[in-house]
Structure 1
């Protein structure tokens, strides 16, 4: 279905060029970085200076077909994928009235404050959005969205409802796996008054991850462990661990203050996948920056606090053989996280359409005592 919609977007944009307004925009990020330690890795970087990992290039086409109907397509190539171009967005939109818009196709999932601008580095001051919150693993759905704006006295209101599915791949413990999230239903609401705005987002769905290829140890896969558990009559334990049509939820809150000089942003999120080995994930960040003309220094703090679902195996501790209990416990416990991350950087707008950025990131793993640091530089531009 989405391939049909993508093709329709392109065909509509091309065929309507003679009779409708077609707008072509683009953006790019040229980012580079390296960790400060020889055995460290963070956000896909190691101690070798790397220019490809977070770089990207995108073209967006939008065509007004008249009678309140428009079509939008965004082609994006990421350096991490050898700049293979894919449709990041592809959707049709219809204006029901001046306040209400309906869209259908491949859409950005409105989890976060900067979801719509997630790939447009020029839209924010950091090198990358705070990964403790934004590193969710997927950003788009195939579905429909209803977006409405209103004004309540001095408050500007933006309300969005989404309905759809996700069927693609995601990275799990360094392994690319098939991922499916069905029956995604959610809503976001943002209120703004002057320099201050606040938002809330809540989405639910049914999550299925094919984790069978994930390696627990050399020669030992998660699929093999689950198969062994089923052979010894522990199908109930497998059901408590496997990610198969499990109810999942996302809850997020955000606050932004931007008076033109100071910009303060904070977001808090909670993610749960019931009846699985996935930890309950609580994350937040706080970022403070100040604009001195074209120069904006900033500092931000991020927190990961993921609680392992020990109840999934605790009832089996006295009955499960050690050779099976140890990997089960290791699997569940490995999902726990307690990271403190500090970012210090600046943005310099050296051109009306381009900005140079530099950022130092220091991450402290409170569970293992490991500490990793990353230096990143980049240029973001829009055209």
Structure 2
């Protein structure tokens, strides 16, 4: 069997098992915990009108890899105060474009001494954004996918650690105060347009062309305020993230101009290359500020809007950007059409550095030029710059209370974007347009 079909056969088999049995199973034992399980999933089909790959999987032929996911969750209630939750997620692997993986996305123990306090310990999803907890559960929102320009910028929203919540029940609604501290290890993907040649003739390249994955350790601490009424949810949060490569290697802080002769020079990106030397760091820090509102004007009209600022200190290669997203929807019976806009724009500093690295080129006849030119292009490929805007028009169709069918057209304009796998030989900074058509089926049971 083709290796790409194997996870799909497993997913379909598990889905058939879930659909063929009870939609929700619960077992009560007088002397033991009360157990319940649920399941969710999305089968999604996407296709673009461009030959380059967008958002890691979207291409000019139909693919199911971008949006498809399957999850199962087991909840155990040991007593009125103590409970535990485990959620398994089957989806594309974090560290390989052609593999799928089954991993726990939630695995925590919870203690609720009363209705006002909740303490959780283990692996959980931090509510960075309005709909972070719903990210994998497509049935809970009408869009084909939550805005990528917004939800993909944070390094991660899953942490292993401690979360403390305090709920204040006021006359008009509920105010929740969340504080957390945690750590996670993840694989970050980047796209290398061309191989970085070895300085020794005949030897393999230092870095191969194509998708590159590096593991990073992230330590996070932050707080979130959430206000909920019958019609409105408001959320604001502040988060401090410390990031370092898992293998202990250092990160470039900023390229340095290295003159090589009259009228010649290049941007030095490593102390292994000739030049005055560059500063490196083992870790860098990011500050994430986010705010959002979800408001229903009546039973039919709904507006969801979010704004984020991600600031970095320590390396110019990391994300330093503004991002915003908004969706307006209107329900007509079982149909909910919507229009959604999203944008991500990196700071001028990061954008200028990426363009300088990408546009500087030494004459090919100069000794060592292939390596030096390749080092600049490689560093430009790994500089996390986003300057793009998307417009999406679509509709969901609620087949019943537990499943939705969705159809969406999305148009993206990008001047430069890490979400695009730029073909070899093409510059990073170039106006690019892509249209994406998505069809998906989402369910919860």
Mark yes or no: TM-score above 0.5: yes
1:177 to 193, 214, 221: 214
Match of 1:164 in 2: 182
Match of 1:218 in 2: none
2:311 to 263, 268, 272: 272
Deviations 1:44-72 (A, max 9, x none): 11011112332111110000011511010
Q: Counterpart of 1:133 in 2: which secondary structure?
A: helix
C-alpha RMSD of the superposition: 3.3
1:300 to 340, 343, 367: 340
CA distance in 1, matches of 2:146, 2:321: 18
Aligned-pair CA distance for 1:341: 0.4
Deviations 1:235-255 (A, max 9, x none): xx332xx5x321211110101
Aligned-pair CA distance for 1:36: 2.0
CA contact (8 A) 2:350 2:385 kept: no
Match of 1:9 in 2: none
Aligned-pair CA distance for 1:40: 5.5
CA distance in 2, matches of 1:338, 1:290: 29
2:437 to 360, 375, 379: 375
2:393 to 344, 349, 359: 344
2:295 paired with 1:251: no
Q: Counterpart of 1:49 in 2: which secondary structure?
A: coil
Stretch moving more, 29-38 or 118-127: 29-38
Match of 2:108 in 1: 91
Counterparts in 2 of 1:117 and 1:321: CA distance versus 1, 3 Å? closer
Match of 2:149 in 1: 132
Q: Counterpart of 1:84 in 2: which secondary structure?
A: strand
Aligned-pair CA distance for 1:172: 2.9
Which TM-score applies when normalising by structure 1?
0.83
Which TM-score applies when normalising by structure 2?
0.72
Q: Which has the larger radius of gyration?
A: 2
1:36-55 alignment runs, 5 A limit: 36-39=49-52, 41-55=54-68
CA contact (8 A) 1:99 1:150 kept: yes
The structure that is helix-richer by fraction is 1
CA distance in 1, matches of 2:309, 2:30: 44
Counterparts in 2 of 1:101 and 1:309: CA distance versus 1, 3 Å? same
Gaps in structure 2 of 5+ consecutive residues:
1-25, 192-210, 252-267, 363-368, 417-429
Q: Counterpart of 2:333 in 1: which secondary structure?
A: coil
CA distance in 1, matches of 2:313, 2:30: 48
CA distance in 2, matches of 1:104, 1:26: 23
CA distance in 2, matches of 1:281, 1:197: 25
Match of 1:3 in 2: none
CA distance in 2, matches of 1:39, 1:329: 18
CA distance in 1, matches of 2:327, 2:361: 48
Q: Counterpart of 2:78 in 1: which secondary structure?
A: strand
Deviations 1:297-326 (A, max 9, x none): 000111110125359979x99xx9966699
CA distance in 2, matches of 1:127, 1:100: 35
Deviations 1:342-363 (A, max 9, x none): 0110000012211000111110
User: How many residues end up aligned between the 2 structures?
Assistant: 352
CA contact (8 A) 2:239 2:288 kept: yes
Q: Counterpart of 1:122 in 2: which secondary structure?
A: helix
Counterparts in 2 of 1:102 and 1:205: CA distance versus 1, 3 Å? same
Counterparts in 2 of 1:313 and 1:113: CA distance versus 1, 3 Å? closer
